[in-house]
Chains A and B, each alone.
Chain A
Amino acid sequence: MDSRRVPRTVSDPKVRQVGFFAPPDRSQSGPPAPASSSPPVSGASPSGNTLSPVMIPPPRHLSADLSRHFPQAPPLSSLGVARAVDSSVPVGSYNPSDFLSPAATADYSEDPLSPRWGRKGSSGKFATSLPASRFEMAVAKQSIFNLPPNGGSTMDMSKEQSSVSGKPLKEKTTKAERRAIQEAQRAAKAAAKENFDLKLRNMEEAMLTLIQLVFDELGYLKYGMKSNVVKTGHHTYLSANYDQSGLVYVGEGSKPSAAAAAGVNPANANTGKPVKAVSQKKDNSSVAPSEKKGGDRQPDKDRKKDVPHPRMQFDDANRVEKAKKRSVVKQTEARNRVELFRHLPQYEHGTQLPELESKFFQLDPVHPAVYKVGLRYLAGDISGGNARCIAMLQAFQEAIKDYSTPSEKSLIRDLTTKINGYVSFLIECRPLSISMGNAIKFLKTRIAQLPLNLSESEAKANLISGIDLFISEKIILADKVIVKHAVTKIRDGDVLLTYGSSSAVELILLHAHELVTKVFLGASSVLSNGTVYSRVGTACVAMVAHQFHVPVLVCCEAYKFHERVQLDSICSNELGDPDVISKVSGRKEINSLDGWANSENLQLLNLIYDATPSDYVSMIITDYGMMQSNFWKQLLRYQSVDLEN
């Protein structure tokens, strides 16, 4: 089994490396450089630079990025206040984007950046050391660059490397494990910790499985996302399939280079880090085979979980019944439904609003702000992926502001359950969009990563600012970047076609196709097989444009990407209000479908989304640049790693 697996682990990361390093040419210099300069500290600064390869397509960003770091540094150091406030904020929660956004959005003012820098730089132990070490710009920078990915572990690494004593390592693991267990089973905490320590020394396999167990309990995969990364302070334990790749890094290079590699790029960093730690352990304690075994089995297990969780099928009577018991929103199932779409929820529209409104003041579990947003979803006041996502995040911000940890509960656990409750309420109001799912995943990881020693107010401030950052960077700035990119694709005299929500618009293309020179479309999500999941009708427009050889450009923020794959628009979709079809606005004379619900032979179907095959799309414009379909998957990887951070 081992012998079979090992080559695979080797080959797998190779692919990854290609993915990460190939796009920008200069990135070639990235990985080797750290390898050659074995001391981790010196390896760190190139690593910091090579972070930028993550934002792949537009090469100019790299240079912009590089040049940006230096001007950025002074504000960082001068931001003592900000840093002090945030001093114990966990590292690396946001780093790739931080590196990206300054580069990608070259003209942003530094104001939004500087706090970010401050927070980034000031992580855990480093926070205290950083102000002191401000004198060395280079060093500071290194640490900054290393921090996001490694969470300061580079330092630890160097320590470890210099003195191969198991001490720091052990400390690290205990922390991690303590954290995990706290979250999982507080009762067994102390014992488990001790046991864990022992096990760690002897057999890493056990450790990994235990972590795995903890993860299972934590239900990190509840939302079908690849969030099996748990960060404790500075240490990341990652049990996803990435640790295979991590192993490869270790296997390929010497220890320092592995560390450097981890530092090199944030995406890899997360992935490579646990491995790094493990590998060092391995090297030290030479239990390689067993460790490998453990490392292998786990990814397998995890990979299974890595697959997005199947969504609730509403034709499953049992589960629907269960869900109904939990639900706040009492929806009445719509009558006269389309048989093919039984698996999707469809409710009578407008019936539940008054009841919910009356509940406004008595609803305990749901925060008023969340409640309000939910009602607005329900009423259709807020629509559009970005608007819904922002509204939700802002409501969560409000909720977090008003949140206070109940006694004998930990903020991390309690807040997560709270958020879960809010989310399920919002789902009842309207199924989540993929972008919202990503944002929620981000928030939850963010909560899970909160350092334990943080006070409640600090933690809340941290989360709120984190959400702010997400909104501003992933959505607002991302849009600006997309616009910037898109503008370069429009020439004078171009006739553009866009597609709104009107079902008639695409017909115009048929007539005017000779005039249209480009088609710009939006997207609700881009799935990992390149399928563009978007407002219904998009596929039709793309298809017709494809027939007439008109380029189709899809604009989509990277936070809307998703790991799922989808071939048709039927298995997962959302059903809108069927009455919309029977009534045409402004056309009172069209009334042949009035009273359709009374005819059992007649159903109306109002789909919200459809899936555009990737071959109809010439190019996708994201905040990471413009790319073709063959690169979507790679970008998705960065993005998912990015979100986990």
Chain B
Amino acid sequence: MPDVHSLVNEFVIKLKKRKIEGSKATAKLTVELLRSFISQQRLPHSNQAAALIDAVKAVGEKLIAANPVELAVGNVVRRVLHIIREEDLSLATAAVGGLSLAAESDDEDDIDRDDHPVLSATAVAAAARNALRPPSLQTLLEDIPHSAAAPHTSSSGGDSEGKSKSADKNSVTRKLKHNVIEAVNELIQEISTCHEQIAEQAVEHIHQNEVILTLGSSRTVMEFLCAAKEKKRSFRVFVEGAPRYQGHALAKELAARGLQTTVITDSSVFAMISRVNMVIVGAHAVMANGGVIAPVGLNMVALAAQRHAVPFVVLAGVHKLCPLYPHNPEVLLNELKSPSELLDFGEFSDCLDFGSGTGSPLLHVVNPVFDYVPPNLVSLFITDTGGHNPSYMYRLIADYYSADDLVVRRKSAS
């Protein structure tokens, strides 16, 4: 499949050159690439899921290495891996359910069946899904004994490959790939509509006459604010910019949409925060501990908000949830941009001169892109699945990723 590989390589180069910016765009492109990769992947008859996982992992590793700071790539790769596992599992359980249903009709007594003699194959499949899906209040209230069913299904999932082999091979083969692509399509849909789902919750959080501060330029934040505006809530927004001045563009757009907008400088955040009712920002990535990787300057905003007891709300699509725990994120998960954003080379050419004899320039310019906001500074995360506490993020993340995929690296054996 040279065409897919060339696509992958092209994407890798783009990532390396930082041609793709923004976690959402990156995530979308990554997942689309993976979809086409999966659809072109030829799978062996046996052990399909493992083969597919290995193949995706190989590509994912490349993509992640291309831009390790863009955590969305890794997130999406892990999501796809998780989807494959999930689909495989549900297929297997369906097969198992079908088998056991047949066995039941044959009056073959099974110990498992003793507990739940009336369980149908669909119920088993649903239970299998429930084991993978986030536990919601709904499942708690619905009297599905998934707590009992889960161990069965997971155990049956473990030997699913052997069982699936025994099932109709052709249909399962096609079905896995088909299901995976279906699920990946869902994921794409989810990524592209996440800001709508987040924006739906705006009314619950923004009240009349509020003053809201935001930083940087985030599509999600903009949609969120505009959604509140559409619900006839009037408020004013503070935005700001340096050093990339994305806030200017956001301000312009907000004003064009009829929102009262005031642009302030980053440095006056502390001065203004006492009159702000809420800080709403977008994130670059949300780590498993609830910490946020965000545009530079956000830590300052979060601190100021904490000082003045202003709620600090982070909007994040699910694709921004990263299953990794940050270690020294200010340095290790950061990137340095060109100094030209901070100063004029013409003006500072003397200081930047390397030929001054000492060999080292007198002036160093540090222009980091990201900032790390520790979880204790965040009041609330709003994702497309609702609002969550920072301390709950690890659980939410665990629902979307499989623990086996946290390290996306092909096993040396395979």
Could you list which residues of chain A lie within 8 angstroms of chain B, going by C-beta atoms? Answer: 338-340, 502-504, 506-508, 510-514, 536-537, 539-540, 543-544, 547, 568-570, 573, 581-582, 584-587, 590, 592-593, 596, 599, 601-607, 609-613
Contacts of A570 in B (CB 8 A): 271-272, 274-275
- Do A611 and B271 have beta carbons less than 8 Å apart? yes
Interchain CA distance A593-B264 in the complex, whole Å: 12
Interchain CA distance A611-B242 in the complex, whole Å: 21
Asked if B300 is an interface residue, CB under 8 A from chain A, the answer is: yes
- Do A510 and B304 have beta carbons less than 8 Å apart? no
Asked if B154 is an interface residue, CB under 8 A from chain A, the answer is: no
- Do B249 and A581 have beta carbons less than 8 Å apart? no
Interchain CA distance A510-B343 in the complex, whole Å: 18
Within 8 Å by CB of A603, from B262, B307, B334, B341, lies B262
Interchain CA distance A581-B267 in the complex, whole Å: 12
Smallest Cβ distance from A549 to chain B, in angstroms?
13
The contact sample of 12 A-B pairs, CB cut-off 8 A, is A503-B266, A511-B331, A511-B368, A513-B330, A514-B330, A539-B271, A540-B266, A590-B248, A601-B260, A602-B262, A603-B262, A605-B272
Residue of A nearest to B300 (CB): A540
Contact with A along B260-297 (1 / 0, CB 8 A): 11111111111110110000000000000000000011
Q: Taking A511-B368, A540-B269 as contacts, is the C-beta distance between A586 and B344 under 8 angstroms?
A: yes
Interchain CA distance A512-B365 in the complex, whole Å: 11
How many B residues touch the partner, as a band?
Answer: 35 or more
Within 8 Å by CB of A510, from B252, B265, B330, lies B330
Within 8 Å by CB of B267, from A513, A536, A603, lies A536
Contact with A along B98-125 (1 / 0, CB 8 A): 0000000000000000000000000000
Residue of A nearest to B245 (CB): A590
Interchain CA distance A568-B269 in the complex, whole Å: 12
Interchain CA distance A604-B263 in the complex, whole Å: 5
Could you list which residues of chain B lie within 8 angstroms of chain A, going by C-beta atoms? Answer: 236, 238, 241-243, 245, 248-249, 251-252, 254-256, 258-272, 274-275, 296-297, 299-300, 303-304, 307, 330-331, 334, 341-344, 347, 366-368, 371
Within 8 Å by CB of B300, from A340, A514, A543, A609, lies A543
Contacts of B274 in A (CB 8 A): 568-570
Within 8 Å by CB of A610, from B249, B256, B262, B270, lies B270
Q: Which of A506, A511, A582 has most chain B Cβ within 10 Å?
A: A511
Within 8 Å by CB of B368, from A507, A568, A573, lies A507
Interchain CA distance A602-B258 in the complex, whole Å: 9
Contacts of B299 in A (CB 8 A): 510, 544, 547
- Do B343 and A602 have beta carbons less than 8 Å apart? no
Which 8 A/B pairs are nearest by Cβ-Cβ distance? A537-B267, A569-B271, A602-B255, A610-B271, A539-B270, A586-B344, A601-B255, A511-B368
Interchain CA distance A590-B217 in the complex, whole Å: 14
Interchain CA distance A338-B272 in the complex, whole Å: 12
- Do A607 and B270 have beta carbons less than 8 Å apart? no
Q: Taking A504-B342, A593-B248 as contacts, is the C-beta distance between A510 and B271 under 8 angstroms?
A: no
Residue of B nearest to A585 (CB): B344
Interchain CA distance A536-B264 in the complex, whole Å: 11
| Besides A503-B267, A540-B267, 18 other A-B contacts (C-beta < 8 A) | A537-B270, A540-B266, A540-B300, A569-B271, A582-B248, A585-B344, A590-B248, A592-B245, A599-B252, A599-B255, A601-B255, A601-B256, A602-B261, A602-B262, A603-B262, A607-B272, A610-B270, A610-B271
- Do A511 and B334 have beta carbons less than 8 Å apart? yes
Contacts of A599 in B (CB 8 A): 252, 255-256
Q: Which of A539, A570, A573 has most chain B Cβ within 10 Å?
A: A539
- Do B268 and A536 have beta carbons less than 8 Å apart? yes
- Do B368 and A510 have beta carbons less than 8 Å apart? yes
Q: Which of A513, A543, A573 has most chain B Cβ within 10 Å?
A: A543
- Do B263 and A507 have beta carbons less than 8 Å apart? no
Residue of A nearest to B267 (CB): A537
Interface contact tally, CB-CB below 8 A:
155
Interchain CA distance A436-B202 in the complex, whole Å: 48
Contacts of A506 in B (CB 8 A): 266-267, 297, 300
Contacts of A596 in B (CB 8 A): 252, 263
Interchain CA distance A45-B272 in the complex, whole Å: 53
- Do B265 and A581 have beta carbons less than 8 Å apart? yes
Smallest Cβ distance from B263 to chain A, in angstroms?
5
Residue of A nearest to B268 (CB): A607
Within 8 Å by CB of B263, from A512, A568, A573, A603, lies A603
- Do B261 and A601 have beta carbons less than 8 Å apart? yes
Residue of A nearest to B261 (CB): A602
Residue of A nearest to B304 (CB): A543
Residue of B nearest to A615 (CB): B307
Interchain CA distance A59-B41 in the complex, whole Å: 81
- Do A504 and B266 have beta carbons less than 8 Å apart? yes
Residue of A nearest to B243 (CB): A504
Contacts of A507 in B (CB 8 A): 242-243, 266, 296-297, 300, 368, 371
Smallest Cβ distance from A607 to chain B, in angstroms?
4
Q: Which of A507, A508, A596 has most chain B Cβ within 10 Å?
A: A507
Within 8 Å by CB of B265, from A339, A586, A606, A609, lies A606
Interchain CA distance A510-B242 in the complex, whole Å: 14
- Do A547 and B303 have beta carbons less than 8 Å apart? yes
Q: Which of A510, A569, A587, A590 has most chain B Cβ within 10 Å?
A: A510
Interchain CA distance A479-B296 in the complex, whole Å: 34
Contacts of A582 in B (CB 8 A): 248, 263
Smallest Cβ distance from A119 to chain B, in angstroms?
43
Residue of A nearest to B236 (CB): A339
- Do B296 and A604 have beta carbons less than 8 Å apart? no
Within 8 Å by CB of A508, from B254, B265, B344, B366, lies B366
Q: Which of B243, B259, B262, B343 has most chain A Cβ within 10 Å?
A: B262
Interchain CA distance A223-B300 in the complex, whole Å: 36
- Do B271 and A581 have beta carbons less than 8 Å apart? no
Smallest Cβ distance from A376 to chain B, in angstroms?
23
Interchain CA distance A567-B242 in the complex, whole Å: 26
Contacts of A340 in B (CB 8 A): 275
Interchain CA distance A613-B342 in the complex, whole Å: 28
Within 8 Å by CB of A604, from B245, B262, B271, B330, lies B262
Contacts of B269 in A (CB 8 A): 540
- Do A602 and B271 have beta carbons less than 8 Å apart? no
Smallest Cβ distance from A505 to chain B, in angstroms?
8
Q: Taking A510-B296, A590-B245, A604-B262 as contacts, is the C-beta distance between A610 and B251 under 8 angstroms?
A: no
Interchain CA distance A585-B307 in the complex, whole Å: 32
Contacts of A584 in B (CB 8 A): 245
Interchain CA distance A605-B264 in the complex, whole Å: 5
Contacts of A544 in B (CB 8 A): 299-300, 303
- Do B366 and A512 have beta carbons less than 8 Å apart? yes
Interchain CA distance A603-B267 in the complex, whole Å: 17
Residue of A nearest to B369 (CB): A511
- Do B330 and A511 have beta carbons less than 8 Å apart? yes
Interchain CA distance A586-B347 in the complex, whole Å: 10
Contacts of B300 in A (CB 8 A): 506-507, 510, 540, 543-544
Smallest Cβ distance from B241 to chain A, in angstroms?
8
Interchain CA distance A511-B297 in the complex, whole Å: 10
Interchain CA distance A343-B280 in the complex, whole Å: 27
Interchain CA distance A593-B265 in the complex, whole Å: 13
- Do A543 and B307 have beta carbons less than 8 Å apart? yes
Contacts of B263 in A (CB 8 A): 581-582, 593, 596, 602-605
Contacts of B251 in A (CB 8 A): 592-593, 602
Interchain CA distance A573-B272 in the complex, whole Å: 11
- Do B271 and A601 have beta carbons less than 8 Å apart? no
Interchain CA distance A603-B304 in the complex, whole Å: 22
Contacts of A611 in B (CB 8 A): 271
- Do A592 and B252 have beta carbons less than 8 Å apart? yes
